[in-house]
Structure 1
Amino acid sequence: MPYDSQYTPETITPEALAHSQGPLLIEFGTNWCGFCKAAQPHIRAAMEAYPGVEHVKVEDGKGRRLGRTLGVKLWPTLIFLKDGQEITRLVRPDNREDIDTALAEIQDR
């Protein structure tokens, strides 16, 4: 799945995540967040090396159920899932290597 540069309103539910199949990266943040913007080159580069991982960018904020359900407090938060189970998460990643490591973990399982 190609890299998506924009966060979009929630279109996925916690229940749908629990039943998802395969590797999945959920990225929480906002389009105006400075930390989110700074992380994008690292996320984009890492995602290009893992085309089999689905990438969903979710706009987060007050009153957003999905982010609250998953305990998201800072942006960006990357949650790496495999077959509906959280494997790892990164909060405010600042390098590609950490993202690559997490993607490899969900890709190889």
Structure 2
Amino acid sequence: MAALHFTKDNFEQEVLKSDVPVLVDFWATWCGPCQMVLPIIEELADELQGVKIGKVNVDEEMELAKQYRVMSIPTLIVFKNGEKAEMSVGAKSKEEIKAMLGV
């Protein structure tokens, strides 16, 4: 399954009310490191079971970026049971992202 696109309209339902861990990639089209992470995010979305993986375009969803204090991108946040469980700023390897998810 391809990575989901989270917006202010679906964030509560898809992320905060999710019964599985959710990895959210805060990114933008103009961000070089974000473009490096994007294929990894898509790969993990296809490969991993029991987790939800998606992205938030900070240019389109400034409210969400502000709410979660995203100052630099890419920022990866793992949500568990509706709470922010882990946060990482900057490009990460596939293994580092999997470790964040605990898989």
Superposed CA RMSD in Å reads 2.8
Q: Distance in 2 between matches of 1:8 and 1:31?
A: 15
SS in 2 for 1:31: coil
TM-score by length of 1: 0.73
| Residue identity in the other structure for 1:71 | R
Write the distance in 2 (CA, Å) between the matches of 1:21 and 1:69. 22
Task: Write the deviation string for residues 21-77 of structure 1: whole angstroms up to 9, x where unpaired.
Answer: 321111111123211101123333333442321122111038711110101011111
Corresponding residue for residue 4 of structure 1: 3
Aligned residues: 103
Structure 2 stretches lacking a partner, 5+ long: none
What TM-score, normalized by structure 2, do the two folds share?
0.76
Percentage identity across paired residues of the two chains: 25
AA aligned to 2:69 is G
Specify the alignment match of 1:41 in structure 2. Answer: 39
> Which structure 1 segments of 5+ residues have no match?
none
